[in-house]
Amino acid sequence: MNCVPGAARVGARSPVASRASHAGDVTAGKMQFAARLARRVGPPSCNAMRRANAVASAPPLAAIHPAAWRGLAGTVNLFNRSRMTPPKVATSAVSTEEAETTTEPEPIKLMTSDESEELLKIRHTAAHICAMATQKLFPDAKCTIGPWIDRGFYYDFDYKPGFSEQDLKKIKKQMIKIINKDYPLRREEVSREEATRRIKELNEPYKLEILDAIKTEPITIYHIGEEGDENAWWDLCAGPHVKSTKKIHPKAIDLEAVAGAYWRGDETKPMLQRIYGTAWGSPEELVAYNEFKAEAARRDHRKIGKELNLFSIQQEEVGGGLVFWHPKGALMRNIIENFWKDIHMARGYDLLYTPHVGKLDLWKTSGHADFYAENMYKPMDVEDETYQLKPMNCPFHVAVYKDGYFSYRDLPIRWAEMGTVYRYERSGTMHGLFRVRGFTQDDAHIFCLPDQIADEIKGVLDLTEDILSTFGFTEFEVNLSTKPEKSVGGPEIWDKAEGALKEALAVKGWDYEVDEGGGAFYGPKIDIKILDAIGRKWQCSTVQLDFNLPERFELTYIDEENSKRRPIMIHRAIFGSLERFYGILTENYAGAFPLWIAPTQVRLLPVTDAVTPYVEETVARMKAAGVRVDVTSKERLAKLVRNAEKQKVPVMCVVGEQEAKDGTLAVRTYADGDVGVITVDEVIARLEAANAGKLEKF
Ligand SMILES: [Zn+2]
Ligand SMILES: [Zn+2]
């Protein structure tokens, strides 16, 4: 699977069986996603392939185990061992061997604009065509800007009446007409005066503002249409574009939505109408993209969070961007945090807890009060002093350092904290757990000697890989950002630091891209993006060197010659934001969480009151073993199973009189269906092993 150019294929490690069978969790995923995933992690199990085929045309729940549903009506013997053995040759499926030999069509890669220059040109040109078409149909609509975005484009118009669904259809039709005319895209260079004259002639006030913001000359204009053609249309633009409109396939474009957006993103400026569109290289790509969108919607963490009662954000009553973790979500968060703390302590970190507010002076010293002010809330008065709600944990970790006295022998120091921070986000930009106003960083700061940088970075990269892969993320895209024009710290320390980062990456054997000059002014950094089950990339982890804060706060250690020196400071986060990571995790698994973090791991489904003592005893034994178990009864078994599957409980155990007599359970899993009749001892042993080993499946 090669869906991202330049991506570090950490998947060079041999595919783990449980990861491969994760393909089976793409319940309602189209075949394509399962196949994509399967290719990424290795050949899928027979079961996963069968599931993927079975679900291609059926709704999620009914699709899981069609045979099982037929069997469910009225009989509890469904779980009888002889019946549940899967047929040797899957009816609707390709067996593992076949899957390896038959040539499947190569899955379509849905490339983002930064991955494909050609798609970027197509999308950019489509934005122009969209504006041209819109003005043809709605001559009063004023043009503003229309950039390409990851998988499409948008164009903002000042058009007070707004656009309806019907209008979008008309605009799309008009776009197709323009495409079919195969107009050339012509670039023209003009002087600022000439550009001004032409814009005034068109009466496009926003374009004048845009022109003012362009500081270089000549001004470039892109025309659609031949010179002198009265239908021709033009826009201020730096390019690039395709050569002519027919380079865009008329069946590979679509207009998706219209939304309000303020001019320049500023709520004091006019509200514009933003038309979102998409454009691809072929109609097949557009179809795949629509499937991708549907799949992403199915996995939306806001929807799943509500369905599974994991968390809420109460915009009206409490305020936007503030997260409430409900019992099940909180339970999962606790498991995640405990894992995180344990592994950090095992890797030589110490834990810190620091306050949520502190004197504003700290943020003046750190510089945040200047360069980070727009993300910070207003300070508050406490007696006669000014305090600040923290947007970052760093100055507090620095405060702990300053409270101590360190020699070179004490370094490196590694301090980690699940630190909750508050940052201002505009009300229109918040989105579920992905963009919030209060979130918890899995933060850590390392204070070390210059010669320790490479080892420390390597340690952070190892820890990052180990933590992320425990949650099923094994494919990363890695970026190294280097010294920008304006920077603090001398060239030697920058060279040393960049060299150390490269060395650490080389030791890891990771491919990476270099963003020359893309670093922060205070130090180089490594960013790591993870790929999820449907191929989306998420920026999570960052390792950032800092030559600035130790200077500003005058941090010191005592060296071999007994003189004071500045330590190197490293900021790093692995999840980034715990809330956001939890959202990503939810979408990656579509709510069917790995067994070790699932809030309810096992549900017992007694079919008769006669087995109550046996069920109670089993629950007690499971709880004593640290297994998260609950019981539902008093319904028909089919309904109990359906409810458990809706809640995506990983393991369901049916208990009848035979099971009670034999000391067994009839086990069925969310991922694989019927597993068989297994002794209670073994079920408990397997669940304990899953918890200890952080396993995805039973
Ligand atoms: Zn343009
Ligand atoms: Zn920091």
What does the pLDDT look like over 430-440, one tens digit per residue? 999 999 999 99
pLDDT value of position 468: 97
Is there a domain that residue 106 lies in?
Answer: no
CA–CA separation, 176 and 253 (whole Å): 9
149 C-alpha to ligand 1 centroid (Å): 12
Active site residues: 394, 423, 441, 443, 445, 525, 571
Nearest Cα neighbor of 509 from 38, 96, 10 is: 10
Ligand nearest, relative to CA of residue 146: 1
pLDDT digits (tens, 9 = 90+) for 591-618: 999 999 999 999 999 999 999 999 999 9
Is there a domain that residue 164 lies in?
Answer: yes
* Domain shared by 544 and 460, yes or no: yes
pLDDT value of position 59: 29
Which of the two residues, 535 and 166, has the higher pLDDT score?
166
Q: Give 434: exposed, middle or buried? Use CB within 10 Å, 0-12, 13-18, 19+.
A: middle
pLDDT value of position 103: 65
How many distinct structural domains can be found in the chain? Answer: 4
Is there a domain that residue 177 lies in?
Answer: yes
206: domain CATH number is 3.30.980.10
221 C-alpha to ligand 1 centroid (Å): 9
52, 35 Cβ separation under 8 angstroms:
yes
Average pLDDT over residues 142-149: 94
| Per-residue H/E/C for 299-337 | CCHHHHHHHCCCEEECCCCCCCCCEEECHHHHHHHHHHH
Which of the two residues, 128 and 61, has the higher pLDDT score?
128
Ligand nearest, relative to CA of residue 155: 1
pLDDT value of position 9: 35
Average pLDDT over residues 93-100: 41
Is there a domain that residue 373 lies in?
Answer: no
225 C-alpha to ligand 1 centroid (Å): 15
CA–CA separation, 213 and 226 (whole Å): 28
569, 549 Cβ separation under 8 angstroms:
yes
27, 47 Cβ separation under 8 angstroms:
no
CA–CA separation, 615 and 617 (whole Å): 5
In one-letter notation, the amino acid at residue 622 is: M
In which band, very low, low, confident or very high, does the pLDDT at 3 lie, cut at 50, 70 and 90? very low
pLDDT digits (tens, 9 = 90+) for 284-295: 999 999 999 999
3 state SS of 113: coil
pLDDT digits (tens, 9 = 90+) for 497-506: 999 999 999 9
Length of the chain (residues): 698
Whether residue 92 has pLDDT greater than 60:
no
Question: Which is it for the CA torsion 211, 213, 219, 224, positive or negative?
Answer: negative
* Domain shared by 94 and 173, yes or no: no
Q: Which of 532, 565, 589 is a domain's end point? A: 589
pLDDT value of position 623: 98
* Domain shared by 427 and 316, yes or no: yes
Ligand nearest, relative to CA of residue 443: 2
pLDDT value of position 93: 36
pLDDT digits (tens, 9 = 90+) for 540-549: 999 999 999 9
Nearest Cα neighbor of 529 from 508, 544, 512 is: 512
Q: Which of 75, 101, 127 is a domain's end point? A: 101
* Domain shared by 460 and 419, yes or no: yes
Nearest Cα neighbor of 155 from 252, 72, 73, 253 is: 253
545 C-alpha to ligand 2 centroid (Å): 9
Ligand nearest, relative to CA of residue 569: 2
Q: What is the dihedral of CA 291, 292, 297, 298, to 10 degrees?
A: 70
* Domain shared by 257 and 315, yes or no: no
pLDDT digits (tens, 9 = 90+) for 15-49: 333 333 333 333 333 333 333 333 333 332 233 33
User: What is the pLDDT of the chain when averaged over all its residues?
Assistant: 86
CA–CA separation, 399 and 643 (whole Å): 51
pLDDT digits (tens, 9 = 90+) for 53-89: 333 322 233 222 222 222 232 222 223 222 233 333 3
236 C-alpha to ligand 1 centroid (Å): 7
544 C-alpha to ligand 2 centroid (Å): 8
480 C-alpha to ligand 1 centroid (Å): 30
Q: Which of 101, 133, 164 is a domain's end point? A: 101
pLDDT value of position 511: 94
Is there a domain that residue 303 lies in?
Answer: no
Nearest Cα neighbor of 245 from 144, 321, 176 is: 176
475 C-alpha to ligand 2 centroid (Å): 25
| Per-residue H/E/C for 229-271 | CCCCEEEECCCCCCCEHHHCCHHHEEEEEEEEEEHHHCCCCCE
Nearest Cα neighbor of 38 from 54, 56, 19 is: 19
Tell me the residue range of the domain where 243 lies.
117-279
pLDDT value of position 234: 93
3 state SS of 435: strand
Pairing of strands 350-351, 413-422: parallel
Contacts of 440 (CB under 8 A, 6+ apart): 418, 419, 420, 421, 577, 578, 579
Compute the chain's Rg from CA coordinates. Answer: 29
121 C-alpha to ligand 1 centroid (Å): 9
pLDDT value of position 386: 96
Q: Which of 176-180, 236-240, 282-286, 657-661 has the lowest mean pLDDT?
A: 236-240
CA–CA separation, 411 and 389 (whole Å): 30
Which two three-digit tokens encode residue 393? Answer: 């944990």
Ligand nearest, relative to CA of residue 520: 2
Ligand nearest, relative to CA of residue 222: 1
* Domain shared by 420 and 476, yes or no: yes
Contacts of 487 (CB under 8 A, 6+ apart): 494, 519, 521, 522
CA–CA separation, 234 and 236 (whole Å): 7
* Domain shared by 346 and 471, yes or no: yes
415: domain CATH number is 3.30.930.10
pLDDT value of position 104: 66
pLDDT digits (tens, 9 = 90+) for 432-479: 999 999 999 999 999 999 999 999 999 999 999 999 999 999 999 999
617: domain CATH number is 3.40.50.800
C-alpha 195: how far from chain center: 42
127 C-alpha to ligand 1 centroid (Å): 7
349 C-alpha to ligand 2 centroid (Å): 15
Average pLDDT over residues 316-326: 95
Which two three-digit tokens encode residue 247? Answer: 């380079």
* Domain shared by 446 and 517, yes or no: yes
Whether residue 97 has pLDDT greater than 80:
no
pLDDT value of position 102: 57
197 C-alpha to ligand 1 centroid (Å): 19
Residue ranges of alpha helices (H) inside 530-575 are 549-552
* Domain shared by 610 and 557, yes or no: no
325 C-alpha to ligand 2 centroid (Å): 25
Q: How many beta carbons lie within 10 A of that of residue 634, not counting itself?
A: 8
Ligand nearest, relative to CA of residue 444: 2
Is there a domain that residue 212 lies in?
Answer: yes
Ligand nearest, relative to CA of residue 207: 1
pLDDT digits (tens, 9 = 90+) for 372-395: 999 999 999 999 999 999 999 999
pLDDT value of position 75: 26
Q: How many beta carbons lie within 10 A of that of residue 282, not counting itself?
A: 12
Ligand nearest, relative to CA of residue 124: 1
pLDDT value of position 50: 28
Is there a domain that residue 66 lies in?
Answer: yes
* Domain shared by 529 and 429, yes or no: yes
pLDDT value of position 13: 32
CA–CA separation, 162 and 145 (whole Å): 17
549 C-alpha to ligand 2 centroid (Å): 9
CA–CA separation, 162 and 274 (whole Å): 9
Q: Which of 61-75, 134-148, 190-204, 267-281 has the lowest mean pLDDT?
A: 61-75
* Domain shared by 438 and 561, yes or no: yes
DSSP state of 472: T
Q: Which of 5-9, 221-225, 317-321 has the lowest mean pLDDT?
A: 5-9
Which of the two residues, 428 and 25, has the higher pLDDT score?
428
435 C-alpha to ligand 2 centroid (Å): 19
Nearest Cα neighbor of 371 from 483, 493, 521, 545 is: 521
pLDDT value of position 23: 30
679 C-alpha to ligand 1 centroid (Å): 67
With vertex at residue 118, the alpha carbon angle to CA 112 and CA 119, rounded to the nearest 5 degrees, is: 35
3 state SS of 653: strand
Average pLDDT over residues 636-655: 96
CA–CA separation, 161 and 142 (whole Å): 12
* Domain shared by 322 and 453, yes or no: yes
3 state SS of 382: strand
The DSSP bridge partners found for residue 359 are 387
569 C-alpha to ligand 2 centroid (Å): 9
Is there a domain that residue 112 lies in?
Answer: no
